[in-house]
Amino acid sequence: MLRRRQIFLAGLTAITLSLSACGGSGADGNGSGPEKTKLVVGTLPVPDAAPLFIAIQKGFFKEEGLTVKPEIVPNGPASGPKLQAGTMDFSLANYVSAFVATSKGALKWRFVADSYRAGPNTFVLLAPKDANTRKVEDLKGKTIAVASLKSINTIAIASLLEAHGLKETEVKFKELPFPQMPAALKTKQVDVVCVTEPTNTVIQSQQGTVAVADIMTGATESFPVAGWATLEPYVRKYPKTIAAFQRAMSKAQKIAATDRRSVEQVLPTYTQIKPDTASVITLGTFPTSLNSIALQRVPDLLLKFGYIPSRIDAKTLIVPEPSAK
């Protein structure tokens, strides 16, 4: 009898251990936590990414059983190969670039959280004070420096030009990284620069410039700029990880949206923006949810100006946000 009892208890222990091992890789060990707990998130040294660092600082990811390692990338599209290879989980994505890539079938981007929208004077055209460029109509025949071609900057400028009776073909775009723009403007390699913060504040404080126009007006007012994204295969494979990431980011977005000081505090930790500059730069807005109606404005404008060949339903690229725990 004693021998039988020992055999029974040994078998029960084995079954229990087996069930525990098969319970999933979630943080809580019972399968309800995230499938992956250690994440690499691509980001850029720009104000758009502030909510990610707020979430890290406040421990929101830790509360969800996640450990997040930010990885600075030169631009959103540069994250694509890393996401495909599985060495990166999420990335800050420029909506314009993501929709264009999706339209070409190159990458199937999926948006999991909104991050940043344009605000007044967050994207501006600057010209030297001694130049004859003072208003939008003066841009005809001018060379404009932009961070990248066929981007949010160029499409916003195209929309601005159209509103003033000009065509995109009546200006020349020159691709230049933001750090090179101040020198290019000063040495007259370009007539105008299209800048965002902190380059805007730096140029205006160091050089005599005039603001020709705020390009985020009219059709691009409060335009969606960037959000957090991954690729379609990841959505199918790691739904609980995505939900955990979304819950953490939702908390951070709400803080960024209502407390400018929280944004100012994290900016110097991942950008070259100094604390005194962070306190004066012009910021856009931080949406508290990923709204398909607002996001639809991006592919609709892309279609109008020929950046994509056919209409894309933005809703099909959004991963629904989970209910709060």
Question: DSSP letters of 11-65?
Answer: HHHHHHHHHHHTS-S-TTSSS-S-S--EEEEEE-SSGGGHHHHHHHHHTHHHHTT
* 141/18 Cα distance (integer angstroms): 72
pLDDT reported for residue 18: 39
What one-letter code names the amino acid at 136? V
- Whether residue 210 is predicted with pLDDT greater than 50 in this model: the reply is yes
Look at residues 187, 191, 325 and name the one whose alpha carbon lies nearest to residue 247.
325
- Whether residue 248 is predicted with pLDDT greater than 50 in this model: the reply is yes
Phi-psi region of 209 (alpha: psi -120 to 50; beta: other; left: phi over 0): beta
Say if residue 43 is exposed, middle or buried (CB neighbours under 10 Å; 0-12, 13-18, 19+).
buried
Using a pLDDT cut of 90, give the percent of the chain over it: 76
Bond from prior residue into 198 cis (ω within 30 degrees of 0)? yes
Host H or E run for residue 156 = helix 152-163
Q: What is the pLDDT of residues 80-95, one digit of tens each?
A: 999 999 999 999 999 9
Domains annotated for the chain, with CATH where assigned, are 38-118+222-317 (3.40.190.10), 124-220 (3.40.190.10)
- Whether residue 243 is predicted with pLDDT greater than 80 in this model: the reply is yes
Using a pLDDT cut of 70, give the percent of the chain over it: 90
Q: What is the pLDDT of residues 57-78, one digit of tens each?
A: 999 999 999 999 999 987 777 8
Give the residue-averaged pLDDT of 260-270: 97
pLDDT reported for residue 204: 85
Phi, psi of 188 (to 5 degrees): 60, 30
pLDDT reported for residue 2: 43
Q: Does pTM surpass 0.75?
A: yes
- Check if the beta carbon of residue 109 is closer than 8 Å to that of residue 93: yes
Look at residues 286, 287, 293, 285 and name the one whose alpha carbon lies nearest to residue 318.
293
User: Any idea which residue has 């709204």 for tokens?
Assistant: 291
Look at residues 188, 152, 194 and name the one whose alpha carbon lies nearest to residue 173.
194
* 4/15 Cα distance (integer angstroms): 17
